[in-house]
Amino acid sequence: ARDVVLAGDVLGRDAHVVLVVDVPQTVDDHGNIWFFSGIDSDRNKDIAINKKVQLYFSCPEKNTYLSVTGDASIIIDKEKFAELWNPILKIWFKDGIEDKNISLLKVTTNTAAYWDIEGGKMVNFFKMISAAITGSQFNESSHGTIKL
């Protein structure tokens, strides 16, 4: 979904976490998540050294959050470029799928953890206040881990 913000976290070349904001092009039928990326980008350099990634998705308007772990690989495949191409990508790849700096990142997913909080922020705020006053437990969310 285009309204979902993504930050991919990669254990970088210097053994620290690197956050990158991006939007996936697609999630395929096997659960792989695809991104366009510059061949010479720091992200590609990091993934060449350490393919382990963790992706964070959020949709604050719906109070929905997802964390996905996986293994990233760098793909150079013009047919796949054409399949996933979106004209807005010309901002970064001026020669389209023929651009010399274009690559795809394929994240093969391993596990996912999700949080889905029911109701809006204001509604949940009042429910929490009510729970605090009455001594009852506030539990208006679902949370789980999925092995992919």
pLDDT tens string 7-46: 454 554 554 445 555 666 788 888 888 889 999 998 898 8
- Do the Cβ atoms of 38 and 44 come closer than 8 Å? yes
pTM exceeds 0.95, yes or no? no
Q: Which residues contact 19 (CB under 8 A, 6 or more apart)?
A: 7, 8, 9
First to last CA, the chain: 20
> Judging by beta carbons within 10 Å of its beta carbon (0-12, 13-18, 19+), is residue 63 exposed, middle or buried?
middle
Tell me phi and psi for residue 44, to 5 degrees.
-65, -40
Residue scoring higher pLDDT (138 or 89): 89
